Amino acid sequence: MELQQAMEMRHSVRRYTDRKIEGEVLERLQQAIAEANRDSGLNIQLCLNEPDAFSGAMARYGKFHNAVNYLAFTGKKDRDLDEKCGYYGEKIVLRAQQLGLNTCWVAASYSKGKSAAVIKPGEKLLLVISIGYGENNGVARKTKTTAQLCRTDGTMPEWFLRGVQAAQLAPTAMNQQKFRFELDGQTVKAVASLGPYTKVDLGIAKYHFELGAGEAAEWQWAD
């Protein structure tokens, strides 16, 4: 499965079967996590067969079922932490989709105190992503229009439109989609508006934008 297809197929899945993550799938998932940790400096931990974080009222209210595996995102408390977790987390999420797994980003619907993640001094646990074999593959949801998610000076190059279309598929907290891509020449500025976890959402949307826009056109992110 190509990454474009993985973006299209991915939907949040909150109910999982008993099937274990093991063998080659587990190895490849661990490789993706190791790569993300190396490139980002984050400390992303795979917690397997750990039911406690998703056994409380929050998880039930959030409609989670059999969520016993999750990725815990811990890292140094700096100003880039949220965006980094979004960007590198979505890389792992799309890799997981390619491996036949399902996922759901979770910032609120779990018991943070019962997570199995090891949090080092100076670090914090920002959020988790539940992962496993879903009871189903989830469903498509509503999205803002491309016009609502970008600003241009009138012209809209094909690569930019493809980037924004890919970002439409990006998961965001409460499906708020509070991000916008602004085009100035060949430079793209990614902007997050105020709200809970909008910086995480921005990191996720930026990774999708990069995949959609591709490398054929010469464009760059604004600083």
Site residues (CB under 6 A) for ligand FMN?
Answer: 11-12, 14, 62, 104-109, 127, 138, 141, 171-175, 197, 200-201, 204
In angstroms, give the least distance from the CB of 33 to ligand FMN: 18
Between residues 74 and 219, which has the closer beta carbon with respect to ligand FMN?
74
Between residues 11 and 206, which has the closer beta carbon with respect to ligand FMN?
11
According to DSSP, residue 121 is labeled T
Between residues 171 and 183, which has the closer beta carbon with respect to ligand FMN?
171
Between residues 134 and 171, which has the closer beta carbon with respect to ligand FMN?
171
Residue pair 44/165 in contact by the 8 Å Cβ criterion: no
In angstroms, give the least distance from the CB of 54 to ligand FMN: 11
Alpha helices in the chain (DSSP H): 3-9, 23-40, 57-61, 81-98, 158-168, 198-213
In angstroms, give the least distance from the CB of 63 to ligand FMN: 7
Residue pair 180/191 in contact by the 8 Å Cβ criterion: yes
The first and second tokens of residue 7, run together, are 């973006």
In angstroms, give the least distance from the CB of 98 to ligand FMN: 16
The first and second tokens of residue 195, run together, are 């709200």
In angstroms, give the least distance from the CB of 200 to ligand FMN: 4
Buried-exposed string 33-53: b where 16+ CB fall within 10 A, e elsewhere: beebbeebebbbbbbeebeeb
Between residues 110 and 219, which has the closer beta carbon with respect to ligand FMN?
110
Nearest to 172 by CA among 10, 6, 1: 10
Is the CA virtual torsion 111, 117, 118, 119 positive or negative? Answer: negative
